[in-house]
Each structure stands twice: as structure tokens, then as C-alpha cells.
């Protein structure tokens, strides 16, 4: 039995402070404390994988503006898609003006789309809003909001001022419906800036165990049929969103691979989807615990042509070459000439697979991207199945 890492008990205490200033010199302030269920209930680290409708993000705080004053509010958001294949995300806000909504996200090539429908209680009935969001990159977004009596077109640009502080610049145009008798409140065109600051303590990062501990634990990979697959640049990415188009295609490959693994009896853990608010320190501690328990952790990445290693390659495996799974993953693409001990996930028994050239993916048509994701996912699936078969054969032989 390999030694287990000590998992830090220090929690992240996240407070969210958001201010907004508009071109009409109106202002708004939100201050809230973020809770994640089941994390805040003190349950074990695996609880988030066992609870079907959890995790849930809960924000308790106060908000208000120059015209409304301050009032308390509660915001609940499911971080795991619900309702089966529909994969909808319910959102509810309880305040002086209650709001209930539901969101559906999907991707087309490198672009991300989201459709959100919401109802807001008010003094003049229950106005509805239908919002379509198009996100072409990590910074640029276009939104169209169709409300009860008008349409709003918005352009938003995000930027990270620091690791914990983000700004969103917004320009909007309001267009009333032709037959609407209700006047549009305020200017027909407007702008605003939102600044959000997250406050709190980050979890401490545990030291990795000796390499031999992870190597011996890797001999049990496949026995429990539990595996973690995670698209790169989704856990606490900060300003590191990867090569252009990489992050989105990482996710496409992982979605394909998860479907194939689940169909073959694997229990697939997806921290990017089911625990997206993990800090990098918490994630590395959790990776160490998983690999020491005999559960492999595979991160899917890609990179552009400018990131070639000394051998002129951009695809390959980054991890301990003595771990059998890593050798299987490298059978078709080889190992990259990079010191894996300098990287957090491989140093803790996990593996990074640089599986594609991001520059080539950007040139592909949507149908070609789908085929490429299926091909790469199929190769990864074959490697994982081979290591599982070898582990089973060794277990029988013993």
C-alpha cells in the first residue's frame, strides 16, 4: 500500500465584491459570500461526485444602487447540468426582485453559445427575457436580449486585472418593439464597467510525495475502473487560457472521451465540470490523492506550432515514462522533451497529453473538428483500455 498524501484542511473563504459604473453615472454594489455545496457541509472530498444535483453555488449577500438602496439577496446556481441529455443549468435569485432562469450551453467549433430564459417578478407583472450569448474567445462576447417589450444588443469585453480581480466593459443599444407602447427607460445606448474582486484565503499546496510512491500506486491503475479526465486551462486558469482555440478543443476531446469511457464501464470524474471553483492548490492536492489511490488523472491539452520542443514536436505525453499508462498513451505520439518533474500534475502522478496542434485545429471546418476530436478521443480510449487489460491480466497472474 503506497503512502497517502496529507490533504490540506485549509479552506478557501471566497467573498465576492462587485461594483458597476454606467455612462449615466449610476452605480451598483454587490457584496456576497460564496458557498459551494457539498463542500461547505464538511463532507468528504468525493461527495461532489456522489451527489447528482450537487455542486451548487450559493451566494449570500447584499446589493443595491443609487436608486434602489441596499437589500439582501441569495443566488443559487447548479454547477452540474441537469435534466439528462437536455443538460440545462437552473439559476435562482431570491431578493427584492426575485428571478428564476434556466441556461443551456453548447459549442460550435471554437465558439461557445448559451441560451438563457428567465422570469423576473416586478410591479407590472412577470416580465420575461430570452438571452443569446455568443462567445468567440475568452475576452469577447456578444449578447442579444429579447425582453417583454424591447431588444438589447450588447458587446462585452473581459480582462483580468489580477488573478483575483476581473473587469468587464459593456456597450449596449436598446431597441423597442415596433408596436410597443411602453417607453424605454434611460438612454437607448449606454455603457458600463463591472469590476469584480474575489477575496479570501487560498488553500495551501501540499508537497508531492517521492516519485516511487506514485509509480507503485500506478500499478493499480484500472483496477477500480475510476479515472479523472480534465480539459486543460479549466481549473483556476487565471490568465493562462492556452493557445488560441486550445481550451475549447480540449473540452471537445474530453467530452468524446468521457462518453466512450462511460460506455465501457468506467467511472469518470470531471473536476472541470463538477468542481469548477477548485483553486489550483486544491486541485493539485486532490490529484495527488487520486493517483496514490490507484486512480489515473489525465489532462488533455494542445499547443501551437511556436511551442515545439527541442525535437520539433508539439504533440506528445508529459509524465513519468516509467508509469505504464503514460507509455501506452505515448505509443502513437511519443513523449515530449520536457522535464515533467517541473509541472504540478505529472509531478503528482498524473499525466498531461499534448494531443493536437492548435494552429491546425483553427483552420478546420466544424465537421473536421468533430472528426478530429473523435479520432484523438478514440486513440486515448484505446490506450486506457490497453492499460486496464494489462492490469487485469497481471492481477489474475498474481
pTM value surpassing 0.75: no
| Residues 145 and 253 placed together within one structural domain of the fold | no
Question: Does any domain span residue 205?
Answer: no
Residues 6+ away with beta carbon under 8 Å from 37: 54, 55, 56, 58
Helix H or strand E encompassing 281: helix 280-292
The answer to whether 140 touches 132, Cβ cutoff 8 Å, is no
The DSSP result for 113-173, as a single string, is: EEEEEEEE-BTTB--EEEEEEEESSSSEEEEEEEESSEEEEEEEEEEESSSSEEEEEEEEE
CATH code at 29? 2.40.160.40
Question: Does any domain span residue 308?
Answer: yes
The pLDDT of residue 4 is 34
**Grid cell listed for 59:** 451566494
| Residues 371 and 320 placed together within one structural domain of the fold | yes
For 72, the domain range is 15-199
| Partners of 62 in the β-ladder | 31, 72
Distance CA 376, CA 361 (A): 12
Question: Does any domain span residue 204?
Answer: no
| Residues 227 and 150 placed together within one structural domain of the fold | no
Domain boundary among 199, 230, 249: 199
CATH code at 369? 3.40.630.40
Count other C-beta atoms under 10 Å from residue 67's C-beta: 8
Domain boundary among 140, 175, 199: 199
Question: Does any domain span residue 362?
Answer: yes
| Residues 289 and 389 placed together within one structural domain of the fold | yes
Cβ burial of 13 (10 Å; 0-12, 13-18, 19+) is exposed
Question: Does any domain span residue 218?
Answer: yes
Distance CA 228, CA 269 (A): 5
Question: Does any domain span residue 283?
Answer: yes
| Residues 37 and 95 placed together within one structural domain of the fold | yes
| Residues 167 and 238 placed together within one structural domain of the fold | no
Distance CA 146, CA 248 (A): 27
**Grid cell listed for 226:** 475510476
Domain boundary among 199, 224, 245: 199
The pLDDT of residue 1 is 32
| Residues 340 and 364 placed together within one structural domain of the fold | yes
Per-residue pLDDT of the chain (398 residues; tens, 9 = 90+): 333 333 333 344 578 899 998 887 788 899 998 877 765 555 555 555 555 556 677 889 999 888 778 899 999 988 767 776 677 889 999 988 889 999 988 777 667 888 999 988 765 666 788 999 988 766 788 888 888 778 889 999 988 888 788 899 999 998 876 655 555 555 678 899 999 988 876 667 889 999 999 999 999 987 888 999 999 998 887 767 788 889 899 999 999 999 999 999 998 988 887 776 677 888 898 899 999 999 999 999 999 988 777 677 889 999 999 999 999 999 989 999 899 999 999 999 999 999 999 999 999 998 999 999 999 999 999 999 988 776 665 555 55
Count of the separate structural domains present in the chain: 2
E-strand ranges in the chain read 15-22, 27-37, 56-65, 69-78, 88-94, 99-108, 111-120, 128-135, 140-147, 150-160, 165-176, 189-199, 226-231, 267-269, 297-303, 316-318, 351-357
Peptide bond into 55 cis (omega under 30): yes
Distance CA 104, CA 114 (A): 6
Question: Does any domain span residue 239?
Answer: yes
| Residues 88 and 189 placed together within one structural domain of the fold | yes
The pLDDT of residue 341 is 94
| Residues 60 and 183 placed together within one structural domain of the fold | yes
**Grid cell listed for 74:** 441569495
| Residues 215 and 171 placed together within one structural domain of the fold | no
| Residues 106 and 219 placed together within one structural domain of the fold | no
| Residues 143 and 250 placed together within one structural domain of the fold | no
The answer to whether 157 touches 168, Cβ cutoff 8 Å, is yes
The pLDDT of residue 126 is 64
The C-alpha cell 457539498 sits at 38
The pLDDT of residue 80 is 67
Question: Does any domain span residue 359?
Answer: yes
Amino acid at each position: 500500500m503506497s503512502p497517502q498524501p496529507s490533504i490540506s484542511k485549509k479552506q478557501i473563504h471566497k467573498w465576492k465584491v462587485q461594483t458597476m459604473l454606467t455612462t449615466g453615472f449610476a452605480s451598483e454594489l454587490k457584496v456576497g459570500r460564496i458557498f459551494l455545496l457539498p463542500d461547505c457541509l464538511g463532507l468528504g472530498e468525493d461527495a461532489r461526485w456522489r451527489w447528482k444535483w450537487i455542486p451548487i453555488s450559493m451566494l449570500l449577500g447584499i446589493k443595491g444602487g443609487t436608486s434602489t438602496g441596499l437589500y439582501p439577496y441569495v443566488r443559487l446556481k447548479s454547477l452540474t447540468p441537469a435534466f439528462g441529455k437536455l443538460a440545462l443549468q437552473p439559476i435562482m435569485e431570491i431578493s427584492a426582485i426575485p428571478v428564476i432562469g434556466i441556461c443551456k450551453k453548447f459549442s460550435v467549433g471554437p465558439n461557445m453559445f448559451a441560451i438563457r430564459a428567465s422570469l423576473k417578478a416586478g410591479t407590472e407583472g412577470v416580465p420575461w427575457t430570452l438571452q443569446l450569448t455568443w462567445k468567440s474567445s475568452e475576452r469577447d462576447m456578444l449578447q442579444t436580449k429579447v425582453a417583454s417589450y424591447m431588444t438589447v444588443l450588447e458587446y462585452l469585453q473581459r480582462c483580468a486585472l489580477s488573478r483575483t480581480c476581473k473587469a468587464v466593459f459593456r456597450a449596449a443599444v436598446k431597441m423597442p418593439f415596433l408596436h410597443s407602447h411602453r417607453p424605454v427607460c434611460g438612454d437607448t445606448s449606454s455603457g458600463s464597467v463591472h469590476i469584480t474582486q474575489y477575496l479570501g484565503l487560498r488553500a495551501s499546496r501540499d508537497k508531492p510525495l517521492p516519485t516511487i510512491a506514485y509509480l507503485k500506486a500506478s500499478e493499480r491503475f484500472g483496477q477500480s475502473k475510476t479515472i479523472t479526465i480534465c480539459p486543460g486551462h479549466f481549473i483556476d486558469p487565471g490568465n493562462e487560457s492556452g493557445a488560441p482555440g486550445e481550451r475549447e478543443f480540449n473540452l471537445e476531446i474530453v467530452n468524446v472521451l468521457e462518453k466512450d469511457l462511460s460506455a465501457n464501464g468506467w467511472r469518470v470524474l470531471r473536476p472541470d465540470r463538477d468542481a469548477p471553483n477548485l483553486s489550483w492548490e486544491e486541485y493539485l492536492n486532490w490529484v495527488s490523492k487520486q493517483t496514490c489511490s490507484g486512480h489515473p488523472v489525465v489532462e488533455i491539452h494542445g499547443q501551437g506550432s511556436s511551442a515545439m520542443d527541442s525535437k520539433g514536436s508539439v504533440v506528445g505525453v508529459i509524465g513519468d515514462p516509467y508509469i505504464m499508462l503514460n507509455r501506452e498513451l505515448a505509443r502513437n505520439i511519443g513523449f515530449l522533451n520536457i522535464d515533467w518533474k517541473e509541472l504540478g500534475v505529472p509531478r503528482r502522478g498524473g499525466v498531461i497529453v499534448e494531443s493536437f496542434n492548435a494552429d491546425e485545429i483553427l483552420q478546420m471546418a466544424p465537421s473536421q473538428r468533430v472528426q478530429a476530436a473523435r479520432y484523438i478521443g478514440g486513440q486515448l480510449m484505446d490506450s486506457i483500455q490497453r492499460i486496464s487489460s494489462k492490469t487485469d491480466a497481471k492481477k489474475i497472474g498474481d
